Structure formats: C-alpha cells, structure tokens
A and B are shown apart, each in its own frame.
Chain A
Amino acid sequence: MKKLKYALFTGCTAKQSTPEQMMSTMAVARKLNIEMIELTEASCCGASHLQDYDDFLSLVLNARNIAYAEKHGLTMVTICNTCQLNTAMTKHRLDKNPELKARVNEKLAEVGLEYKGTSNVIHFLYAIIDDFGLDKIKEMVVKPLSQFNIAPFYGCHNIRPSELHDESHKQKENPYKPTSLDDLIIACGGKNVDYEEKTKCCGFHVELQAPHTAAVLTGTAIAGATDNNADMMVTPCPLCHLKLDTQTKSASEAIGREVSLPVLHMQQMVGLALGCTPAELGLKHHVTDVNFI
C-alpha cells in the first residue's frame, strides 16, 4: 500500500488539556506508517462558540486552515469531533455557495491565500477505516483487548448532522446505530458494549453556562456504560474525553450515584492493541486512572 500522508489539524485541546491525545495520535501514526504534516499555522476552529458570535469571521478563519492543507495538496485530518464539525461545515458551505466563497476569498487574498475546495476534511477515525482498513489493523494487533468490555462513546459532532458527515467519509454512518467505533473495538480484539447513551451528548459545550445539564448528561452516559458491564469507555472526541474523564465528581452528584470509568481516546485503544507502551500513549495524563494496565 502507498504510504498514507495527511495534513494534521490538531485543534487546541490536543496541545493543552489532553496532551495524551496528541501523543497517542503520533504513536499510532508511527505504527501505521502514516505521515502527518502538522498544520502549525492553523488557528482555533472556534469550537462552535465563535460561530455564535461572528459567523463570517469564523468562516474566514476555518477557510484559512483548510487553505493550508490545500497548499500541501493533502487531505486534512482532524482529531476532535467539534473541529471536524466546524471545519467540514465551513467546507460544505463554501463549496455549495460560490458567492460566499468569493467573499471569503476576498479576505484570504489579503494574506495571500485562497480557499479552493480541493482538500477533503476527515476525522482520523474515518481516515483509519476508509484509507487504512480495519482488516489491516486486525492483522497488526499484537496485544488484543480481548479481556475487556469496551463502551463506544461516539460524540455528537462526528455523527450529526449525518448529511454533512456523509460528504467526508465513504462509510455511511447511521446516526442512530453507528458502527465505526464498534468495529474498531472489535478489530482491536475487544468486546463492544451496546448501550443507549452511546450516541448521546456529553454536555461539554454548556459546561460553563448550564453546569447542571452538562453534569446530568455526563453522569447518565457513564452510568449507561457501567450498567451494561463496560470496563472502560472509548471516544474519538477529546472534548467528550475531558467531560467523561475529569468531571466524574459533578456528574455523580448530579445523578445521585457514584459513577466513574476509565476512558480511552480512540487512538490510545488502537495504540494499546498495536503494542505501544502506556508511556507513549500518555496514560498517566488521565484524571480517572486507567487502572487495568
């Protein structure tokens, strides 16, 4: 197979509150012989909050990020669901609306850039599935997670709105019965856990203004996984990870029941199965201890 090469948009979280996510992304890329060109010029995607304030500005900034991937002639890979949503949404809107694209490009021209629409934007999870292949992952597994029940937590912004996401990846995902993360768990040798909350929201985006709502959603999700015998959860979204890993106290208080489970980033799960060390995967950076290693 030709060596895979992507333009990596890390997002801000991977560089700050989830350093383990950056470490495990690079560790897995090395194992899979994938070359990642990091887009160091990129700005924050706005995380859907800048979008609430100034729509046009957030379009311009996201178009600039994609323009850098286009300059490399590479597909842009994201490692955060919300980055994926905001970047792919920008691409969708500009590609569908030539007038808007022209207005954005008028601004980008001031800094010598142009958004063309030539680079696809895809989350690392789907890049692995579409371009690398789960069969190949399966063959490469050296330390299968066969002793564990693993609860997939998909994260809203990778599965909804489904119409948008169907544009980026080949495998169509049913937002009510998604399979990608389940399939990845199985490929890593684990047992996938089915539970109602796997497609639900963790509440991250209202953590500051609506802490009770956010805490109830987080608590209910961990409780759902626990009640279906999960030993751990796994997610492709660092924001979901932050919520599920660091906020168990408020979540437990909100639902009146003690809940806590180790939560892996999708990359850490793959890394473990492929034989990466806990240190390479940054497991020590979790607030809820990953106690089974």
Chain B
Amino acid sequence: MSTNTITTQKVNFKVFRFNADEDYLPYYENYTMDITSEEVVLDVLNRIKWDHDGSFSYRRSCRHGICGACAIKVNGRSTLACKESMTTMIEYFGNEITLEPLSTKRAIKDMIIDKGDFWDKHAAVTPYLVADIDECPSCENLVSPHDAEELDEADLCIQCGACHYACPVVDINHDFFGPAAFVAAYRFESDVRDSDGERLINVNEEKQGVWDCVKCFECAEVCPKDINPINKITKLHQMAFQRGVAKNNVATRHAVGFLHSIKKYGVLDEGGLVLYSEGAHIVKHIPVALQMFRKGKIVMPWNIVKSDKLDEIQKLIKSSSTVKF
C-alpha cells in the first residue's frame, strides 16, 4: 500500500458539552463519524459544528500551530487540535475518543475555558526583557548565535496552556506558577541582554516557584512545540545556584544534601539527607520513621554500605564540581 492512500474508519466521539449560562452540570454528547487518515483533531471539531450542532464552541484561529488557541484534551491528553493527527490519536486510544476542554472545571462553553489563572501566572514572572537600552540606540543590540542557543527554544512557546493544565500541581497548589510560566521566565533569564535581578529569585521562591514541581514530566510529554518545560525548570534551579541567589531552605538543602552524602558514602544516606534538609523540623517525621524502623526500613549511618572505590567518586567530585553552595 502506498503511503499516500487515504483510509477511512469509523470513530465514536464522546464530547464534553457545557454552557455556563444555561447548564448546571456538564454532559457528554455522542457522535459517530467516518474519519480519514488525513484529518487532524480540529477537523473533527469543525465537523461537529458544521454537520451536527452549530452551537458547539471551541477556540481556533491560525490552524498552523502558531496562535495556541486550539489546545484541548483528547482522552485525557493535552494536545493542539490543529496539529494532532487523528491517525495518531486512533493509534494511541483506539476508536473510542473523548474530547474535553483543557480543564473541565474551568469550562465556559464546551471546549472554551477561562484561562485567567494561566495569564495571571504568566504576567507574574516578568515575561519581558528588562534591559537598560537607550531609546534611540546608535547600533543594534546584537546577540551572537552562540548566546541565542542558550534560550534552548524557550522562545518557541505559543502559550497554548497544554502543559499548564496537564500539570498535577497547578490544581493542588494554587500559588504554583506552572510549567508555561517557568518557560517564559527561563526565556528571559537566559537572554544575555536581560538585567532583571528579581525574576530568578521570584521563580525560586517556595510554594510558587520551581521547587514545588513534582518532576512528573507531564509537561514534557504534552508540549506541541517540544519545548520540554521541566528541562527549563531544572535549568532555573541550576541558575539559582550558579548566580548565588539560591536561598538556604529545605528544598535547596535537599538538592545539596545529595552531594554531601555521595561524598561521604558514594551512596545516599537517606536519614542523613532528611536531617540535613529539615534541620529541627525533623521531628515531624519521627512517627513514620519509627514505623519504618520497626519494619527494618531504616539503616543506621554506621551500617551504610559504602560504594566500592569510594576514592574514585571523591576524586571526581573534587575535579568535576561546577557550583558551590
């Protein structure tokens, strides 16, 4: 079969419907359609509106993966409707496909959500260049290709919100800026022309900042622009240490504690790490620690089996360390 052959198959769609002005509760409407191998998810949304129900609502504009308006969830996976091929979705999920807005609890009408929290958090990270540049400069402010590489494609973000509403922390910790805002922060922090001193400190603050990311990689999995937000989050952690603005708190000590442990044992001293990170707050872990102790889950420091050839590890730590805390 040539790769250009267009194939067709029947797909059952379960579509989230809700109109905040008229409905108390959302409901799901079923549509069955013949889907060709050429179609993208946005084609399906269009066909629902054009062929089945003119009141069906969703956002779209560019149809080229540029405006970021059309992100929705397909079987729970955040995706850009105009970019995602139906063939891939059928490969992933079979012929029963559920279409929902990025966040059902923020739904206004069908696929349209109130993205207010997303934009508030975007605004909170100073998402613009802060530079002392003359209003009428005599020459351009050049950025070398090498320096531009530092942005690591963070400038490609289209603010679609796919990552933000895939992030499990956003709906638990309402202060958390979320992956897209961190991408924006990184985009300007990594710009050689930027001279803002506050942004990096702001995004490293407890509760709202990068240290509350659970490292689940949901954001990396969904980003339609392959920006890898968690990778930018990791870089914002590292930058805080490199630029000497990392605060001394439980989160930073937790990271640095690994180094101390590896230096001493090669492996991790689990209890020692908690003690170093928490300081006096260690007491709150005592009840669980006692239970674990009774079950033989706690190894005393003097019983920790060190790595063989620990001297090699220590030598490498000496020669390869790039930061100090």
Interface residues of chain A, those whose CB is within 8 Å of chain B, are 12-13, 15-19, 40-44, 46-57, 60-61, 64, 107-108, 110-111, 113, 156-157, 160-162, 174-177, 196, 200-201, 203-206, 208-210, 212-214, 216-217, 246-247, 249-250, 284-287
Docked complex Cα distance between A43 and B312 (Å):
10
Docked complex Cα distance between A231 and B322 (Å):
48
Contact residue among B93, B257, B304 (Cβ-Cβ distance under 8 Å from A16): B304
Contact between A209 and B316, CB atoms less than 8 A apart: no
Contact between B92 and A57, CB atoms less than 8 A apart: no
Please name all residues of chain B whose beta carbon is closer than 8 Å to the beta carbon of A285 when the two chains form the complex: 295-297
Interface hit among B4-12, B24-32, B213-221? B213-221
Q: Which 9 A-B pairs have the closest CB atoms?
A: A160-B217, A201-B216, A52-B237, A209-B251, A12-B268, A50-B258, A111-B312, A53-B255, A60-B320
Contact between A209 and B266, CB atoms less than 8 A apart: no
Chain B interface residue bracket vs A: 35 or more
- Let me know if B131 is at the binding interface, CB within 8 A: no
Contact residue among B216, B234, B287, B298 (Cβ-Cβ distance under 8 Å from A52): B234
Contact between B238 and A213, CB atoms less than 8 A apart: no
Docked complex Cα distance between A200 and B166 (Å):
11
Contact between A205 and B299, CB atoms less than 8 A apart: no
Q: Which of B225-281 contact A (CB under 8 A)?
A: 228, 234, 237-238, 241, 249-251, 254-259, 261-262, 266-268, 270, 274, 277-278
Bits for B168-196, please: 1 = Cβ < 8 Å to A, else 0: 11001100000000000000000000000
Residue of A nearest to B173 (CB): A213
**Can you list 24 pairs linking A and B with CB atoms under 8 Å apart?**
A12-B268, A12-B270, A18-B297, A42-B266, A44-B261, A44-B267, A48-B215, A49-B254, A53-B238, A53-B323, A53-B325, A57-B320, A61-B317, A64-B312, A64-B316, A110-B316, A111-B315, A113-B312, A174-B92, A176-B77, A201-B218, A246-B291, A247-B288, A285-B295
Bits for B97-120, please: 1 = Cβ < 8 Å to A, else 0: 000000000000000000000000
- Let me know if B55 is at the binding interface, CB within 8 A: no
Contact residue among B214, B257, B270, B292 (Cβ-Cβ distance under 8 Å from A205): B214
Docked complex Cα distance between A103 and B76 (Å):
42
Known: A110-B315, A216-B172, A284-B296. 15 other contacts (CB 8 A): A12-B267, A13-B270, A16-B297, A44-B268, A53-B259, A56-B322, A57-B321, A156-B218, A157-B215, A160-B218, A177-B75, A206-B212, A208-B251, A209-B211, A287-B291
Inter-chain contact count A-B, CB under 8 Å?
199
B221 CB, min distance to chain A CBs, angstroms: 5
Contact between B312 and A41, CB atoms less than 8 A apart: yes
Please name all residues of chain B whose beta carbon is closer than 8 Å to the beta carbon of A287 when the two chains form the complex: 288, 291-292, 295, 297
Please name all residues of chain A whose beta carbon is closer than 8 Å to the beta carbon of B323 when the two chains form the complex: 53-54
Docked complex Cα distance between A286 and B216 (Å):
25
Please name all residues of chain A whose beta carbon is closer than 8 Å to the beta carbon of B278 when the two chains form the complex: 208
Contact between A57 and B299, CB atoms less than 8 A apart: no
Please name all residues of chain A whose beta carbon is closer than 8 Å to the beta carbon of B135 when the two chains form the complex: none
Contact between B316 and A208, CB atoms less than 8 A apart: no
Contact between B267 and A15, CB atoms less than 8 A apart: yes
Contact between B316 and A176, CB atoms less than 8 A apart: no
Contact A43-B214, Cβ < 8 Å, known A61-B262, A176-B93: no
Contact A47-B258, Cβ < 8 Å, known A60-B320, A176-B93: yes
Please name all residues of chain A whose beta carbon is closer than 8 Å to the beta carbon of B129 when the two chains form the complex: none
Docked complex Cα distance between A210 and B251 (Å):
9
Contact between A107 and B277, CB atoms less than 8 A apart: no
Docked complex Cα distance between A12 and B216 (Å):
20
Contact between B241 and A53, CB atoms less than 8 A apart: yes
A135 CB, min distance to chain B CBs, angstroms: 24
Contact between B307 and A162, CB atoms less than 8 A apart: no
Docked complex Cα distance between A207 and B321 (Å):
27
- Let me know if B43 is at the binding interface, CB within 8 A: no
Contact between A213 and B76, CB atoms less than 8 A apart: no
